[in-house]
Amino acid sequence: MEHTVAHEEHSGGGVKEIVRVTVILSILTAVELALGFWMMGMPLDSGLRLAVKGAIIILMMAKAFYIVAYFMHLKHELKNMIMTIVVPLALFIWFIIAFLYDGNSFRHLRNTYDPHFKEQSTIKVEKKEEAKHEESKEEKKEEAKPEERKTVE
Amino acid sequence: MSTATATPGKLWGGGKSPFNVEYGKLMMWYFLMSDAFTFGAFLISYGTVRFSTNGWPDPNEVFRSYPFAPEGAHAPLVFVSIMTFILIISSVTMVLAVHAGHNMDKKKVVVNLILTILGGLAFLGCQAWEWNHLHSEGAWWGHNPFLNHDGTAASTNFTNFFFTITGFHGFHVFSGVIINIIMLIMTLRDVFEKRGHYLMIEKAGLYWHFVDLVWVFVFTCFYLI
């Protein structure tokens, strides 16, 4: 029995490890969801909301690590091979920073120099309630219409 | 044989595999790496566009329904969390199939592959329902019925990116299911048993885990943040 366990560890994996990683992934997902629910009540531009988003991204990276390292067995490969996969992916660091920075800068430029763009993003559309009750309104159409006219007059 | 023996200690001296993996598996890794850049480009362009606009729809308002939900149900994150767990569990059964393949355990490989295929089909079913539901609400490429978080009118960027990226991911899930079905047929026909190893399952497994990996990112970027 001792022998087989040692062998499994060497080739990477073993049911024990699979179960452990499954539990970890489930917990990470549950925490992500809990943070998502918590975030719902926060005001749009609060710093805490941003911090929670950051935490969710860190949890996402942790999940990605566990999937790649254990489910895809990358951790148990030779170091040379790991490097040929991981090093090119470092391009993403530049990719993400450069493009998000660019998007953000474009928004600032438009808000500064394009009054139309800025104006468009401040006009609020009539409340959603309108659309929601549209169906029920249709039934009451005949009753509702004269009332509406009265209020307009 | 004498030409194949390398001087011991020299990793690149020839005669042995420097990465200690078979060719197909290595190429699968490199394919997945390129696929990661494809998905990365999609998600980063989504992020860039989102960063360049002032308002964006609230995912909790958009994805708030589930099958057989009563009219006007407000249950954000519920359905998508079910989808996420389905994909994680199907990834686990796939890893168990690969593990069983290492031990030449045909019966376990078959059982776990079937479970993985069922998980994939369940995920596809969930996604089909969600697409259909959003479409019935008027969302599609070029149509966005949802308002921004702050009540201002939203552009079609949101739906365009959502349908393109989840569609591309769904297509990967679909092809993964097809690959797994082929693996199941090959296992049942004893192809791997005759070959003496189940390494092909491992390659299919890599692809399947990658699909799960991409969902981790898509789920976070579209539903949570």
Residue A1: which pLDDT band, with cuts at 50, 70 and 90? very low
Residues of chain B below pLDDT 50 = 1-3, 5-6
Please indicate, yes or no, if residue B204 is contained in any of the structural domains: yes
Write down the ipTM of this complex.
Answer: 0.89
Please indicate, yes or no, if residue B163 is contained in any of the structural domains: yes
Q: Which amino acid is at B35?
A: D
CB proximity under 8 Å: B 2-31 to A: 11, 18-21, 26, 29-30
Please indicate, yes or no, if residue B69 is contained in any of the structural domains: no
Q: Which of B45, B24, B27, B29 is nearest to B168 (CA)?
A: B45
Q: With contacts defined as CB-CB under 8 Å, which chain A residues touch B216?
A: 60, 63-64, 67
Over the stretch B116-152, which tens digit does the pLDDT of each residue have? Answer: 999 999 999 999 999 999 999 999 999 999 999 888 8
Q: In chain B, how many domains are there?
A: 1
- What pLDDT does residue B8 have? 56
With beta carbons less than 8 A apart as the criterion, state whether B103 and B86 touch. no
What is the DSSP-derived secondary structure letter of residue B66? -
Of B51, B77, B225, the CB nearest to A104: B51
B45:A53 CB<8 A? no
Residue A9: which pLDDT band, with cuts at 50, 70 and 90? very low
Please indicate, yes or no, if residue B2 is contained in any of the structural domains: no
Please indicate, yes or no, if residue B4 is contained in any of the structural domains: no
A80:B11 CB<8 A? yes
Q: Answer whether B34 touches A (CB < 8 Å).
A: no
With beta carbons less than 8 A apart as the criterion, state whether B83 and A135 touch. no
Here the CATH number for the domain that contains residue B132 is 1.20.120.80
pTM of the model: 0.85
Over the stretch A77-95, which tens digit does the pLDDT of each residue have? Answer: 999 999 999 999 999 999 9
- What pLDDT does residue A11 have? 52
Mean pLDDT along residues A127-149: 46
Domain that holds residue B205: 23-47+76-224
